[in-house]
Amino acid sequence: MRLILMGPPGAGKGTQAKVVAERLGVPAISTGDIFRDNVVQQTDLGRTAQRYMDAGDYVPDEVTNAMVRDRLAQDDAGKGFLLDGYPRTLDQVRTLDAMLAEDGHAIDAVVVLEVDREELVARLLKRAEIEGRTDDTEDVIRRRQEVFAEQTAPLIDVYAERGLVVTIDGSGEIGEVTEQVLSALSSRDAG
């Protein structure tokens, strides 16, 4: 299965991506995690990405697209994957479509996690205390929410027009959300 997990910052994409991917036997590929790893290792990619991430802005498409292309070319992604945090712009959607089409593949489903705004801010501020991510300050969180609303929320409509969207209430407990995602995917599969 080739899946995309979408949702606003704080919706729990990272958490769900890992568990859901594990249960489906595909790798979870998080662009945010790959960027953060590169920042830690001080690679060229990391240095470029950090400037944007710390401001709450998206890393430029050409940088992100090239990175995802490399990652999807690895063996473990050959039979399927769960993308967390990509695509986030229309340009990324088009690039992903083209990359998959080269091998005759396409996205099977797009899982959208929905959580209300207040709950999102509360979760992110709590995560800031625990993980100390430099982009979890209140100003940057607000900026990330704006960028999501402007640039990424419209992608949900693009995938909805293709009949690929599965919307899940992300406000429950972690395990409940996971079960809802898995059961929604398997009933889609069956149907």
Q: Which is nearer to ligand ADP, 127 or 188 (CB)?
A: 127
162: annotated active-site residue = no
Catalytic residue list contains 71? no
Quote the CA–CA distance of 145 and 135 in Å, as a whole number. Answer: 12
Nearer to ligand ADP, 66 or 101 (CB): 66
CB-nearer residue toward ligand ADP: 31 or 180? 31
Give yes or no: 88 in active site. yes
Residue ranges binding ligand ADP (CB under 6 A): 9, 13, 31-32, 35, 52-53, 56-59, 64, 85-86, 88, 92, 135, 144
Catalytic residue among 127, 142, 143, 188: 127
Which residues on adjacent β-strands are paired with residue 108? none
To ligand ADP, the closest distance from the beta carbon of 159 in angstroms equals 15
Cβ proximity of 124 and 9 under 8 Å: yes
Counted residue by residue, the chain has a size of 191
In angstroms, the CA 85 to CA 7 distance is 8
Cβ count within 10 A of residue 162 = 10
